[in-house]
Chain A
Protein backbone atom coordinates (compact mmCIF):
# COMPACT_ATOMS: atom_id res chain seq x y z
CA UNK A 1 0.00 0.00 0.00
CA UNK A 2 2.78 2.45 -0.81
CA UNK A 3 2.46 4.72 -3.86
CA UNK A 4 4.90 4.25 -6.75
CA UNK A 5 7.73 6.77 -7.20
CA UNK A 6 7.09 9.92 -9.21
CA UNK A 7 8.87 13.17 -10.06
CA UNK A 8 7.58 16.04 -7.94
CA UNK A 9 7.05 19.63 -9.07
CA UNK A 10 6.02 22.44 -6.74
CA UNK A 11 5.28 25.56 -8.85
CA UNK A 12 4.79 28.81 -6.91
CA UNK A 13 2.76 30.66 -9.56
CA UNK A 14 0.07 29.85 -12.10
CA UNK A 15 2.47 30.69 -14.96
CA UNK A 16 5.06 28.25 -13.58
CA UNK A 17 2.40 25.57 -13.12
CA UNK A 18 1.23 25.93 -16.73
CA UNK A 19 4.83 25.90 -17.98
CA UNK A 20 5.69 22.68 -16.19
CA UNK A 21 2.40 21.06 -17.31
CA UNK A 22 3.15 22.08 -20.92
CA UNK A 23 6.64 20.61 -20.68
CA UNK A 24 5.55 17.31 -19.12
CA UNK A 25 2.40 16.79 -21.19
CA UNK A 26 0.67 13.44 -20.69
CA UNK A 27 3.31 12.29 -18.16
CA UNK A 28 1.96 14.60 -15.47
CA UNK A 29 -1.07 14.63 -13.21
CA UNK A 30 -2.14 17.62 -11.20
CA UNK A 31 -2.14 17.17 -7.41
CA UNK A 32 -4.56 19.41 -5.49
CA UNK A 33 -6.40 17.75 -2.57
CA UNK A 34 -5.30 14.26 -3.60
CA UNK A 35 -8.16 12.57 -1.75
CA UNK A 36 -8.96 10.39 -4.77
CA UNK A 37 -5.55 10.37 -6.47
CA UNK A 38 -3.42 9.34 -3.47
CA UNK A 39 -5.46 6.21 -2.60
CA UNK A 40 -5.51 5.26 -6.30
CA UNK A 41 -1.73 5.51 -6.32
CA UNK A 42 -1.41 3.61 -3.03
CA UNK A 43 -3.51 0.81 -4.53
CA UNK A 44 -1.33 1.03 -7.66
CA UNK A 45 -4.33 1.75 -9.84
CA UNK A 46 -2.62 4.95 -10.95
CA UNK A 47 1.10 5.53 -11.48
CA UNK A 48 1.73 8.97 -12.96
CA UNK A 49 5.39 9.65 -13.83
CA UNK A 50 5.12 13.16 -12.43
CA UNK A 51 2.87 15.15 -10.11
CA UNK A 52 2.46 18.90 -10.33
CA UNK A 53 1.49 20.06 -6.85
CA UNK A 54 -0.66 23.20 -7.20
CA UNK A 55 -1.18 23.62 -3.45
CA UNK A 56 1.34 26.47 -3.33
CA UNK A 57 -0.02 28.39 -6.32
CA UNK A 58 -1.59 31.61 -5.01
CA UNK A 59 -5.00 32.84 -6.18
CA UNK A 60 -6.66 29.49 -6.84
CA UNK A 61 -8.54 29.01 -3.55
CA UNK A 62 -11.33 31.56 -3.96
CA UNK A 63 -15.09 31.10 -3.90
CA UNK A 64 -16.66 34.03 -5.76
CA UNK A 65 -20.39 34.68 -5.62
CA UNK A 66 -21.90 37.10 -8.15
CA UNK A 67 -25.46 37.95 -9.15
CA UNK A 68 -25.77 34.95 -11.43
CA UNK A 69 -23.05 32.43 -10.51
CA UNK A 70 -20.73 30.84 -8.00
CA UNK A 71 -17.15 30.39 -9.21
CA UNK A 72 -15.11 27.86 -7.25
CA UNK A 73 -11.31 27.97 -7.61
CA UNK A 74 -9.16 24.89 -8.15
CA UNK A 75 -7.82 24.94 -4.59
CA UNK A 76 -11.12 25.65 -2.77
CA UNK A 77 -11.56 22.69 -0.46
CA UNK A 78 -15.00 21.09 -0.28
CA UNK A 79 -15.32 22.32 3.33
CA UNK A 80 -14.62 25.91 2.27
CA UNK A 81 -17.42 25.79 -0.33
CA UNK A 82 -19.74 23.99 2.10
CA UNK A 83 -19.31 26.63 4.83
CA UNK A 84 -19.41 29.71 2.56
CA UNK A 85 -22.62 31.55 3.60
CA UNK A 86 -22.89 33.56 0.37
CA UNK A 87 -22.48 30.46 -1.78
CA UNK A 88 -25.19 28.73 0.25
CA UNK A 89 -27.58 31.66 -0.17
CA UNK A 90 -26.95 31.75 -3.92
CA UNK A 91 -26.96 28.01 -4.61
CA UNK A 92 -28.22 25.96 -1.62
CA UNK A 93 -27.77 22.77 -3.64
CA UNK A 94 -23.97 23.12 -3.32
CA UNK A 95 -24.02 22.59 0.45
CA UNK A 96 -26.77 19.96 0.29
CA UNK A 97 -24.68 17.86 -2.08
CA UNK A 98 -21.33 18.55 -0.37
CA UNK A 99 -22.66 17.17 2.92
CA UNK A 100 -22.90 13.82 1.12
CA UNK A 101 -19.29 13.93 -0.14
CA UNK A 102 -17.28 11.49 2.03
CA UNK A 103 -16.58 12.71 5.60
CA UNK A 104 -15.70 16.16 6.97
CA UNK A 105 -12.06 15.06 7.33
CA UNK A 106 -11.87 14.24 3.61
CA UNK A 107 -13.72 17.45 2.71
CA UNK A 108 -11.11 19.47 4.60
CA UNK A 109 -8.54 18.51 1.97
CA UNK A 110 -10.42 17.38 -1.14
CA UNK A 111 -11.32 20.06 -3.68
CA UNK A 112 -14.58 20.55 -5.56
CA UNK A 113 -12.81 21.13 -8.87
CA UNK A 114 -10.67 18.02 -8.29
CA UNK A 115 -13.79 15.96 -7.76
CA UNK A 116 -15.14 17.19 -11.11
CA UNK A 117 -11.90 16.40 -12.95
CA UNK A 118 -11.73 12.94 -11.33
CA UNK A 119 -15.21 12.23 -12.75
CA UNK A 120 -16.27 9.31 -10.57
CA UNK A 121 -19.69 8.22 -11.89
CA UNK A 122 -20.96 7.93 -8.29
CA UNK A 123 -19.70 11.37 -7.21
CA UNK A 124 -22.14 14.14 -6.29
CA UNK A 125 -20.48 17.31 -7.60
CA UNK A 126 -20.50 16.32 -11.30
CA UNK A 127 -24.29 15.92 -11.01
CA UNK A 128 -24.56 19.36 -9.39
CA UNK A 129 -22.51 20.93 -12.21
CA UNK A 130 -24.90 19.35 -14.76
CA UNK A 131 -28.04 20.41 -12.87
CA UNK A 132 -26.87 24.03 -12.69
CA UNK A 133 -25.65 24.29 -16.33
CA UNK A 134 -22.14 24.83 -15.08
CA UNK A 135 -18.81 24.72 -16.81
CA UNK A 136 -15.15 24.08 -16.03
CA UNK A 137 -12.47 26.59 -17.04
CA UNK A 138 -9.24 25.03 -18.28
CA UNK A 139 -6.00 26.95 -18.67
CA UNK A 140 -2.86 25.93 -20.49
CA UNK A 141 0.33 27.68 -21.54
CA UNK A 142 -1.35 28.38 -24.89
CA UNK A 143 -4.77 29.62 -23.79
CA UNK A 144 -8.00 29.06 -21.95
CA UNK A 145 -11.30 27.32 -22.68
CA UNK A 146 -14.61 26.72 -20.92
CA UNK A 147 -16.13 23.25 -21.18
CA UNK A 148 -19.85 22.91 -20.34
CA UNK A 149 -20.88 20.17 -17.95
CA UNK A 150 -22.62 18.09 -20.63
CA UNK A 151 -19.34 17.80 -22.59
CA UNK A 152 -16.93 17.66 -19.66
CA UNK A 153 -17.68 14.20 -18.28
CA UNK A 154 -16.50 11.86 -21.00
CA UNK A 155 -16.66 8.49 -19.21
CA UNK A 156 -16.10 6.74 -15.89
CA UNK A 157 -13.15 8.50 -14.18
CA UNK A 158 -12.61 10.53 -17.34
CA UNK A 159 -13.08 14.18 -18.08
CA UNK A 160 -12.17 16.50 -20.94
CA UNK A 161 -8.90 17.76 -19.48
CA UNK A 162 -6.11 17.55 -22.06
CA UNK A 163 -2.41 17.07 -21.36
CA UNK A 164 -0.90 20.42 -20.35
CA UNK A 165 -4.19 21.79 -19.02
CA UNK A 166 -5.09 22.83 -15.48
CA UNK A 167 -8.72 23.08 -14.40
CA UNK A 168 -8.55 26.49 -12.70
CA UNK A 169 -12.21 26.89 -11.71
CA UNK A 170 -15.73 25.55 -11.90
CA UNK A 171 -18.70 27.84 -12.42
CA UNK A 172 -22.14 26.93 -11.08
CA UNK A 173 -24.98 29.07 -12.41
CA UNK A 174 -27.43 30.42 -9.88
CA UNK A 175 -30.90 29.00 -10.55
CA UNK A 176 -33.81 31.48 -10.97
CA UNK A 177 -35.35 33.00 -7.82
CA UNK A 178 -37.93 30.69 -6.27
CA UNK A 179 -36.14 27.51 -7.43
CA UNK A 180 -36.01 24.57 -5.07
CA UNK A 181 -33.44 21.82 -4.93
CA UNK A 182 -32.74 18.53 -3.25
CA UNK A 183 -30.03 15.85 -3.21
CA UNK A 184 -30.66 12.36 -1.88
CA UNK A 185 -28.63 9.18 -2.04
CA UNK A 186 -28.30 5.67 -0.69
CA UNK A 187 -24.84 4.41 0.29
CA UNK A 188 -23.71 1.28 2.09
CA UNK A 189 -22.23 3.29 4.95
CA UNK A 190 -22.54 6.98 5.77
CA UNK A 191 -19.85 8.81 3.79
CA UNK A 192 -19.29 6.08 1.21
CA UNK A 193 -19.75 6.66 -2.49
CA UNK A 194 -23.43 6.45 -3.41
CA UNK A 195 -24.90 3.20 -4.72
CA UNK A 196 -27.36 5.57 -6.37
CA UNK A 197 -28.12 9.26 -5.84
CA UNK A 198 -30.46 11.87 -7.28
CA UNK A 199 -30.22 15.65 -7.38
CA UNK A 200 -33.32 17.64 -8.36
CA UNK A 201 -33.93 21.29 -9.28
CA UNK A 202 -37.42 22.69 -9.86
CA UNK A 203 -38.01 26.22 -11.13
CA UNK A 204 -40.96 27.84 -12.88
CA UNK A 205 -42.79 24.55 -13.35
CA UNK A 206 -39.88 22.83 -15.09
CA UNK A 207 -37.82 20.19 -13.35
CA UNK A 208 -34.63 18.29 -13.99
CA UNK A 209 -32.95 15.52 -12.11
CA UNK A 210 -29.38 14.23 -12.31
CA UNK A 211 -28.65 10.66 -11.24
CA UNK A 212 -25.34 9.23 -10.07
CA UNK A 213 -24.12 5.65 -9.79
CA UNK A 214 -26.30 4.53 -12.70
CA UNK A 215 -24.25 5.43 -15.77
CA UNK A 216 -20.80 6.27 -17.10
CA UNK A 217 -21.16 9.73 -15.56
CA UNK A 218 -23.92 11.89 -14.14
CA UNK A 219 -27.17 11.26 -16.03
CA UNK A 220 -29.18 14.47 -16.54
CA UNK A 221 -32.90 13.94 -17.16
CA UNK A 222 -35.07 16.98 -18.01
CA UNK A 223 -38.67 16.41 -16.90
CA UNK A 224 -41.34 18.22 -18.93
CA UNK A 225 -44.12 16.93 -16.72
CA UNK A 226 -42.71 16.47 -13.23
CA UNK A 227 -46.21 16.02 -11.78
CA UNK A 228 -46.93 12.92 -13.87
CA UNK A 229 -45.33 10.02 -11.96
CA UNK A 230 -45.62 7.58 -14.89
CA UNK A 231 -43.83 9.89 -17.32
CA UNK A 232 -41.14 10.69 -14.75
CA UNK A 233 -40.57 6.99 -14.09
CA UNK A 234 -40.36 6.22 -17.81
CA UNK A 235 -37.95 9.11 -18.49
CA UNK A 236 -35.60 8.04 -15.68
CA UNK A 237 -35.76 4.40 -16.63
CA UNK A 238 -34.89 5.16 -20.28
CA UNK A 239 -31.96 7.41 -19.38
CA UNK A 240 -29.99 5.28 -16.93
CA UNK A 241 -27.65 2.35 -17.65
CA UNK A 242 -26.85 0.83 -14.25
CA UNK A 243 -24.40 -2.07 -13.93
CA UNK A 244 -23.83 -4.85 -11.40
CA UNK A 245 -20.89 -4.55 -9.05
CA UNK A 246 -19.89 -5.80 -5.60
CA UNK A 247 -22.05 -3.15 -3.91
CA UNK A 248 -25.37 -3.64 -5.71
CA UNK A 249 -27.05 -5.28 -8.67
CA UNK A 250 -28.16 -3.27 -11.70
CA UNK A 251 -31.78 -4.09 -10.80
CA UNK A 252 -31.38 -2.70 -7.29
CA UNK A 253 -29.82 0.48 -8.68
CA UNK A 254 -32.73 0.82 -11.14
CA UNK A 255 -35.13 0.46 -8.20
CA UNK A 256 -33.24 3.07 -6.13
CA UNK A 257 -33.24 5.50 -9.05
CA UNK A 258 -37.04 5.44 -9.11
CA UNK A 259 -37.53 5.67 -5.35
CA UNK A 260 -34.97 8.45 -4.88
CA UNK A 261 -36.33 10.44 -7.85
CA UNK A 262 -39.84 10.30 -6.34
CA UNK A 263 -38.55 11.39 -2.93
CA UNK A 264 -36.36 14.17 -4.33
CA UNK A 265 -39.23 15.56 -6.43
CA UNK A 266 -41.59 15.35 -3.42
CA UNK A 267 -39.09 17.42 -1.41
CA UNK A 268 -38.95 20.21 -3.97
CA UNK A 269 -42.59 20.35 -5.07
Chain B
Protein backbone atom coordinates (compact mmCIF):
# COMPACT_ATOMS: atom_id res chain seq x y z
CA UNK B 1 0.00 0.00 0.00
CA UNK B 2 1.47 3.33 -1.10
CA UNK B 3 0.88 6.28 1.17
CA UNK B 4 1.26 9.97 0.46
CA UNK B 5 2.20 12.68 2.97
CA UNK B 6 -0.33 15.41 3.66
CA UNK B 7 -0.35 18.19 6.26
CA UNK B 8 -3.41 20.07 7.45
CA UNK B 9 -4.84 21.43 10.66
CA UNK B 10 -8.00 20.21 12.34
CA UNK B 11 -9.64 22.50 14.90
CA UNK B 12 -6.37 24.42 15.17
CA UNK B 13 -4.14 21.40 15.75
CA UNK B 14 -1.59 20.67 12.98
CA UNK B 15 -1.32 17.09 11.71
CA UNK B 16 1.20 15.43 9.39
CA UNK B 17 -0.32 12.26 8.02
CA UNK B 18 0.65 9.54 5.58
CA UNK B 19 -2.51 8.27 3.97
CA UNK B 20 -3.52 6.11 1.07
CA UNK B 21 -4.64 8.42 -1.78
CA UNK B 22 -8.10 6.85 -1.76
CA UNK B 23 -8.61 7.71 1.92
CA UNK B 24 -11.70 9.92 2.18
CA UNK B 25 -11.42 12.92 4.49
CA UNK B 26 -14.34 11.52 6.51
CA UNK B 27 -12.38 8.30 7.13
CA UNK B 28 -9.12 10.14 7.81
CA UNK B 29 -10.87 12.19 10.50
CA UNK B 30 -12.65 9.23 12.09
CA UNK B 31 -10.12 6.41 11.74
CA UNK B 32 -6.71 8.11 11.56
CA UNK B 33 -7.36 11.05 13.91
CA UNK B 34 -10.07 9.36 16.01
CA UNK B 35 -12.29 12.45 15.67
CA UNK B 36 -15.53 10.52 15.57
CA UNK B 37 -17.84 13.53 15.88
CA UNK B 38 -18.03 13.67 12.07
CA UNK B 39 -20.67 11.12 11.10
CA UNK B 40 -20.82 9.19 7.84
CA UNK B 41 -24.32 8.63 6.50
CA UNK B 42 -24.77 8.02 2.78
CA UNK B 43 -21.10 8.28 1.76
CA UNK B 44 -21.98 9.76 -1.62
CA UNK B 45 -22.69 13.39 -0.88
CA UNK B 46 -26.45 13.36 -0.43
CA UNK B 47 -27.16 13.38 3.33
CA UNK B 48 -24.81 16.07 4.67
CA UNK B 49 -24.04 14.27 7.96
CA UNK B 50 -20.28 14.37 7.27
CA UNK B 51 -20.15 18.12 6.58
CA UNK B 52 -16.99 19.84 7.89
CA UNK B 53 -15.51 23.28 7.22
CA UNK B 54 -12.49 23.59 4.94
CA UNK B 55 -10.95 27.07 5.22
CA UNK B 56 -14.29 28.18 6.69
CA UNK B 57 -16.58 26.82 3.98
CA UNK B 58 -18.86 23.81 4.56
CA UNK B 59 -18.00 20.82 2.38
CA UNK B 60 -18.86 17.12 2.36
CA UNK B 61 -15.93 15.25 3.89
CA UNK B 62 -17.05 12.03 2.14
CA UNK B 63 -16.53 13.73 -1.25
CA UNK B 64 -12.93 14.75 -0.63
CA UNK B 65 -9.75 12.74 -0.67
CA UNK B 66 -7.69 13.67 2.40
CA UNK B 67 -4.53 13.98 0.23
CA UNK B 68 -6.03 16.93 -1.66
CA UNK B 69 -6.22 19.07 1.49
CA UNK B 70 -2.52 19.84 1.93
CA UNK B 71 -2.29 23.15 3.80
CA UNK B 72 -6.01 23.39 4.59
CA UNK B 73 -7.59 24.47 7.87
CA UNK B 74 -10.35 22.04 8.75
CA UNK B 75 -13.04 22.51 11.41
CA UNK B 76 -15.15 19.58 12.58
CA UNK B 77 -18.07 19.55 15.00
CA UNK B 78 -15.52 19.10 17.80
CA UNK B 79 -14.24 22.57 16.89
CA UNK B 80 -17.68 24.19 17.15
CA UNK B 81 -17.69 24.17 20.95
CA UNK B 82 -17.24 27.20 23.21
CA UNK B 83 -13.68 28.28 24.10
CA UNK B 84 -14.38 26.93 27.60
CA UNK B 85 -15.00 23.48 26.12
CA UNK B 86 -18.76 23.66 26.73
CA UNK B 87 -21.39 23.90 24.05
CA UNK B 88 -20.96 26.54 21.35
CA UNK B 89 -23.89 28.77 20.35
CA UNK B 90 -25.18 26.44 17.62
CA UNK B 91 -24.96 23.38 19.86
CA UNK B 92 -26.66 25.30 22.70
CA UNK B 93 -29.47 26.37 20.33
CA UNK B 94 -30.02 22.78 19.10
CA UNK B 95 -30.22 21.70 22.75
CA UNK B 96 -32.65 24.46 23.76
CA UNK B 97 -34.94 24.01 20.73
CA UNK B 98 -34.95 20.20 20.89
CA UNK B 99 -33.62 20.22 17.32
CA UNK B 100 -32.36 16.64 17.42
CA UNK B 101 -33.75 13.24 18.24
CA UNK B 102 -31.37 10.41 17.33
CA UNK B 103 -28.59 12.96 16.73
CA UNK B 104 -26.88 11.16 13.88
CA UNK B 105 -27.27 14.04 11.42
CA UNK B 106 -26.56 16.76 14.02
CA UNK B 107 -22.77 17.20 13.48
CA UNK B 108 -23.44 18.07 9.83
CA UNK B 109 -26.10 20.58 10.82
CA UNK B 110 -23.89 22.19 13.49
CA UNK B 111 -20.96 22.76 11.09
CA UNK B 112 -23.23 23.98 8.28
CA UNK B 113 -25.12 26.40 10.54
CA UNK B 114 -21.91 27.65 12.20
CA UNK B 115 -20.53 28.69 8.81
CA UNK B 116 -23.87 30.09 7.64
CA UNK B 117 -24.23 32.40 10.66
CA UNK B 118 -20.80 33.98 9.99
CA UNK B 119 -22.34 35.98 7.15
CA UNK B 120 -26.09 35.75 7.86
CA UNK B 121 -26.74 37.43 11.21
CA UNK B 122 -30.55 37.37 11.35
CA UNK B 123 -32.05 34.72 9.05
CA UNK B 124 -35.80 34.43 8.45
CA UNK B 125 -37.38 30.99 8.79
CA UNK B 126 -37.35 30.65 4.99
CA UNK B 127 -33.67 31.56 4.84
CA UNK B 128 -32.87 29.17 7.69
CA UNK B 129 -34.68 26.39 5.84
CA UNK B 130 -32.68 27.13 2.68
CA UNK B 131 -29.45 27.18 4.71
CA UNK B 132 -29.96 23.60 5.88
CA UNK B 133 -31.50 22.33 2.62
CA UNK B 134 -28.43 20.19 1.92
CA UNK B 135 -28.70 18.29 5.21
CA UNK B 136 -31.11 15.42 5.73
CA UNK B 137 -32.73 14.63 9.10
CA UNK B 138 -35.07 11.64 9.28
CA UNK B 139 -36.36 12.28 12.84
CA UNK B 140 -37.32 15.88 13.52
CA UNK B 141 -39.30 17.08 10.52
CA UNK B 142 -36.98 20.13 10.51
CA UNK B 143 -39.35 22.51 12.36
CA UNK B 144 -37.21 22.63 15.49
CA UNK B 145 -34.01 22.69 13.44
CA UNK B 146 -35.22 25.87 11.72
CA UNK B 147 -36.03 27.35 15.15
CA UNK B 148 -32.55 26.38 16.34
CA UNK B 149 -30.91 28.21 13.43
CA UNK B 150 -32.72 31.39 14.48
CA UNK B 151 -31.95 30.83 18.16
CA UNK B 152 -28.28 30.22 17.31
CA UNK B 153 -28.26 33.58 15.49
CA UNK B 154 -29.56 35.25 18.67
CA UNK B 155 -26.98 33.50 20.86
CA UNK B 156 -24.17 34.37 18.43
CA UNK B 157 -25.26 38.03 18.39
CA UNK B 158 -25.23 37.99 22.23
CA UNK B 159 -21.69 36.57 22.29
CA UNK B 160 -20.53 39.18 19.78
CA UNK B 161 -22.06 41.94 21.93
CA UNK B 162 -20.28 40.52 25.00
CA UNK B 163 -16.98 40.57 23.14
CA UNK B 164 -17.46 44.24 22.35
CA UNK B 165 -18.32 45.28 25.92
Report the contact-size class of chain B (Cβ under 8 Å from the partner). Answer: 20 to 34
Report yes or no: A108 in contact with B133, Cβ–Cβ below 8 A: no
B45–A106 contact, CB under 8 A? yes
Contact A105 B134 (CB under 8 A): yes
A38 interface residue (CB < 8 Å to B): yes
A109 and B64 in contact, given A1-B44, A6-B22, A35-B45 (Cβ under 8 angstroms): yes
Q: How far is the CB of B8 from chain A (nearest CB, A)?
A: 12
Contact code string B73-84 (vs A, CB < 8 Å = 1, else 0): 000000000000
For residue A136, CB closer than 8 A to chain B, the reply is no
Q: Which residues on the A side are within 8 Å of B106 (C-beta)? A: none
B155 to chain A, nearest CB (A): 22
| Residues in B1-18 with C-beta less than 8 Å from chain A | 1-2, 4
Residue of A nearest to B19 (CB): A8
Interface bits A1-12 vs B (CB < 8 Å: 1, else 0): 111111110100
Query: How far apart are the CA atoms of A242 and B24 in the complex, in Å?
Result: 36
Q: Is the CB of B57 within 8 A of A108?
A: yes
A105 touches B44 (CB 8 A): no
Note all chain B residues with C-beta closer than 8 A to A191. 133-134
Besides A38-B64, A43-B44, A105-B48, 6 other A-B contacts (C-beta < 8 A): A8-B65, A31-B68, A34-B65, A106-B134, A109-B54, A109-B60
Q: Which 6 A-B pairs have the closest CB atoms?
A: A103-B134, A8-B21, A39-B44, A1-B43, A108-B57, A38-B63
**Can you list 6 contacts pairing A with B, beta carbon distance less than 8 Å?**
A10-B68, A31-B65, A35-B45, A41-B22, A42-B62, A191-B134
